[in-house]
Amino acid sequence: MRQLPLDLRARRHATFDNFVAGANGEALARLRALAAPGCYEMIYLWGTPGSGRSHLLRATAAAASSAGRPVWEVGAAAGEAARGPVPGALVITDDVEALAADAQIELFRAINTAALAGLALLVAGAEPPAALCLREDLKSRLAAMLVFELKPLSDEDKARTLLEQARERGLPVERETVDYLLRHANRDLPSLLAVLERLDRASLALKRTASLALLREVLRESEDVTPRA
């Protein structure tokens, strides 16, 4: 078995600046505003896995905390849930479709008291509100929010991001190699970036350039190859 070097580089934190917006510029702008104290909007994001929902929730939470705004997560520890969000807080819920019954009640109460307590809400799910398997009263509250569908990135957006990431790593990658990756790997950006990281590690371990040939070897050894007919 080949021994790969330890990855000592810090993992990138989710921020607004390292989110690839593509056609989602309006949603990104509204979330930047939502993180600031004094903004009390309620926003619902939905999109397929890999669309960046969780990235945006983490980025908004980080920006709010940096701005001095309390962040409260629905479904958090029991003690925190019992206290509830403090006035002015940003209430965040990811994967809303997976909320247990008691957490659905928490979220419903937070929405109902948002105006009185000065709360902002950011909720994300895999489907639009009407398609969620949740309490009907909660679904109606989510549908009344400002709803954004996160659009998938174009191939050109993905290619540009992969080339930029490779450059940041000091990894010389040709456009031909990136195009091959887009054709033969899972197409969501997190999966593509994971393959790029493995290519980087393999290049270091084997002392080989990050060539198309090496990428083919990395894909053969991984589970990221998209089955072809």
> What is the distance, to the nearest Å, from the Cα of residue 189 to the centroid of all Cα atoms in its chain?
10
Tens of pLDDT, residues 162-216: 998 899 889 999 999 999 999 998 888 888 989 999 999 999 999 999 999 999 9
25-149 matches 155-220 in fold: no
pLDDT at 186: 87
Tens of pLDDT, residues 22-71: 899 999 999 999 999 999 999 999 998 878 899 999 999 999 999 999 99
Q: Please state the pTM of the whole predicted model.
A: 0.77
Classify the C-alpha dihedral 193-195-197-199 as positive or negative: negative
Contact indicator for 66, 96 with CB cutoff of 8 Å: no
Contact indicator for 125, 96 with CB cutoff of 8 Å: yes
6 pLDDT band, cuts 50/70/90, is very low
Task: Give the residue from 82, 98, 93 showing the smallest Cα distance to 121.
Answer: 93
The second-level CATH assignment, the architecture, of 25-149 is 3-Layer(aba) Sandwich (3.40)
Residue 3 has pLDDT above 80, yes or no: no
Domain ranges of the chain: 25-149, 155-220
d(CA 123, CA 111): 11
Across the chain, mean pLDDT equals 87
Structure tokens at 1: 């078995």
**Vertex 139, ends 103 and 60: CA angle to 5°?**
65
CATH number for the domain running over 155-220: 1.10.8
Structure tokens at 63: 């920006």
